């Protein structure tokens, strides 16, 4: 990755970390789950409203933590709206691959734009302990969609 792109990605992460989008509790949430990273103390609670069509109508989050976890949660709320649970899962799967440094897969067909938006976070692959920061909100989102159980940054249930 060239220096200009790295700086742009850093600016995006800092902007989302300092000014998170969709931050706050969501009145009328149909689903929610809490996640935490026991290694660094990051916490996030994800709130969703699922439509009768099985698509995410609205998603917000609350929590505190490092710029990476807050930026990831903020960016996640932007790309998840309008998606089905299966689509959220596909996007998360590819995002997690990239966050771990595995760039061998193509973005899921139809979701190239969403993956490109999340690529700002893929620099965490150089810092394995930071990967957990980036994926924590996604694990909480998956749990909210599935059963609402509390999760850790590695996706384990509490």
This prediction has a pTM of 0.92
For the stretch 40-94, pLDDT in tens is: 899 999 999 999 999 999 999 999 999 999 999 999 999 999 999 999 999 999 9
Q: Is residue 15 part of a domain?
A: yes
Owning domain of residue 104: 3-152
Q: Is residue 25 part of a domain?
A: yes
Q: What is the pLDDT of residue 29?
A: 97
What value does the mean pLDDT take over residues 85-111?
A: 91
Q: Is residue 157 part of a domain?
A: no
Q: Is residue 112 part of a domain?
A: yes
Domain count, the chain: 1
* Residue predicted with more confidence, 8 or 26: 26
* Residue predicted with more confidence, 127 or 46: 46
Asked if pLDDT for residue 5 goes beyond 90, the answer is no
Q: Is residue 29 part of a domain?
A: yes
How many Cα atoms sit within 13 Å of 158 on the Cβ side? Answer: 15
Q: How far apart are the C-alpha atoms of 143 and 158, rounded to whole Å?
A: 11
Torsions phi, psi for 62 (to 5 deg) = -135, 155
Q: Is residue 133 part of a domain?
A: yes
Q: Is residue 158 part of a domain?
A: no
What value does the mean pLDDT take over residues 109-134?
A: 91
The CATH number linked to 146 is: 3.90.1010.10
């Amino acid at each position: 990755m060239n220096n200009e792109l790295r700086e742009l990605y850093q600016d995006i992460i800092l902007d989302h970390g300092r000014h998170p989008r969709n931050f706050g509790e969501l009145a009328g949430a149909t689903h929610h789950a809490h996640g935490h990273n026991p290694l660094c103390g990051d916490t996030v609670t994800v709130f969703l409203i699922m439509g009768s069509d099985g698509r995410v109508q609205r998603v917000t989050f609350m929590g505190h933590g490092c710029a990476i976890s807050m930026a990831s949660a903020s960016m996640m709320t932007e790309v998840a709206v309008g998606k089905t649970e299966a689509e959220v899962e596909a996007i998360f799967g590819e995002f997690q691959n990239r966050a771990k440094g595995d760039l061998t897969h193509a973005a899921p067909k139809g979701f190239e734009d969403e993956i490109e938006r999340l690529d700002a976070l893929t620099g965490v692959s150089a810092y394995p302990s930071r990967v957990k920061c980036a994926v924590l909100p996604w694990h909480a989102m998956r749990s909210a969609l599935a059963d609402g159980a509390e999760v850790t940054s590695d996706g384990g249930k509490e």
